[in-house]
Amino acid sequence: MVGQIQRVGVVGGGLMGSGIAEVSIRAGLDVVLSEIDESAAEAARARIRKSMDRAVGSGKLAEEDRDAALGRLRITNELAEQADRQLVVEAVAENPDIKTGVFAELDRVVTDRDAVLASNTSSIPIAKLAGATERPGSVIGVHFFNPVPVLKLVELVPALVTSEETVRVASAFATEQLGKQPIRAQDRAGFVVNALLVPYLLSAVRMYEGGFAAAEDIDNGMVLGCAHPMGPLTLADMVGLDTIVAIADSMHAEYGDPGYAAPPLLRRMVDAGLNGKKSGRGFYDY
């Protein structure tokens, strides 16, 4: 049985992985963050630093606490450095082949057989990731929301084969240690939030694609008319258009509902490398 988690691993230092690493080091945990190469590792370090500087700037975090937190973070391009972790969160690209490859590798390198192997996937079956390991009972979905330091929710998603102990440890990690609020969801593509959110974002893209209204007017409609913090096209740009296509594809494959099919414009934008805010251009320029 795993006691309180002290040693956390994060695999993938993109938007989500950086945020998960940040909230973990700010919670006093020791974190090893794996990236694929030096430049990705540097980008992850800069992202975490920038986000924490923002918290310092707004008076939410003392400078010495930022420095202490950064002292608990090690960024590496060797996945093998996850060996001594008690809980690892995988947050690589939303691609089943890449994710199952990471789980197979984590299964080989993480020595503690009771360690929890979590995935931040938003739409890939947890059972599929569990099946890539020889310890399927230890695998669970722990899905965070962007920006991770701001949004309280995590979706806890046990697969059919996940052990109760894994659920207990992952839940305590997310709630007691990181201060998040969990909801439980079944292991179905999109879980709760993306199953509701993504069809809405896709509808906004279809509306724009069909020339119903300008991007700003679609967004202002939902901000000013429904008090959403940001409009759907701005939110799509923030989440990443490539990520939205990947989630839509998983949900469309699972449910066959045309409401989940990615509109052609969205696919063309991703083909062209217009992935939203992170790439400098999506529905808006950044």
User: b/e string for 52-65 if b means 16 or more Cβ within 10 A?
Assistant: beebeeeeebeeee
Catalytically annotated residue among 51, 194, 250, 275: 194
- The reply to whether 42 belongs to the active site is no
Instruction: Give the span between the Cα atoms of 258 and 236, in whole angstroms.
Output: 19
Instruction: Give the span between the Cα atoms of 265 and 206, in whole angstroms.
Output: 8
- The reply to whether 143 belongs to the active site is yes
Query: Of residues 34, 82, 133, 194, which one binds ligand 3HC by CB under 6 A?
Result: 194
Residue nearer to ligand 3HC on the CB measure, 56 or 104:
56
If phi over 0 gives left and psi between -120 and 50 gives alpha, with beta otherwise, what is residue 95?
beta
**Least Cβ distance, residue 114 to ligand 3HC (angstroms):** 28
Instruction: Give the span between the Cα atoms of 23 and 27, in whole angstroms.
Output: 6
Task: Classify strands 30-34 and 7-11 as parallel, antiparallel or unpaired.
Answer: parallel
Cα torsion 33, 128, 191, 273: sign:
positive
Residue nearer to ligand 3HC on the CB measure, 177 or 194:
194
Interaction mask 50-79, ligand 3HC, x per CB under 6 A: -x--x---x-x-------------------
Helix, strand, coil shares of the chain as percentages rounded to 5? 50, 15, 35
With contacts defined by CB under 6 A, name the span among 181-189, 214-222, 235-243, 262-270 that binds ligand 3HC.
235-243
- The reply to whether 275 belongs to the active site is no
Residue nearer to ligand 3HC on the CB measure, 109 or 200:
200
- The reply to whether 122 belongs to the active site is yes
- Of the candidates 139, 141, 142, the one whose C-alpha atom is nearest the C-alpha of residue 177 is 142
Catalytically annotated residue among 51, 122, 138, 250: 122
Distance of CA 162 to the CA centre of its chain: 20
Residue nearer to ligand 3HC on the CB measure, 51 or 171:
51
Interaction of residue 229 with ligand 3HC, rule CB under 6 A: yes
Which residues have a catalytic role annotated? 122, 143, 155, 194
Which residue ranges make up the site for ligand 3HC (CB under 6 A)? Answer: 51, 54, 58, 60, 122, 145-147, 149-151, 194, 197, 229-230, 235, 239, 243
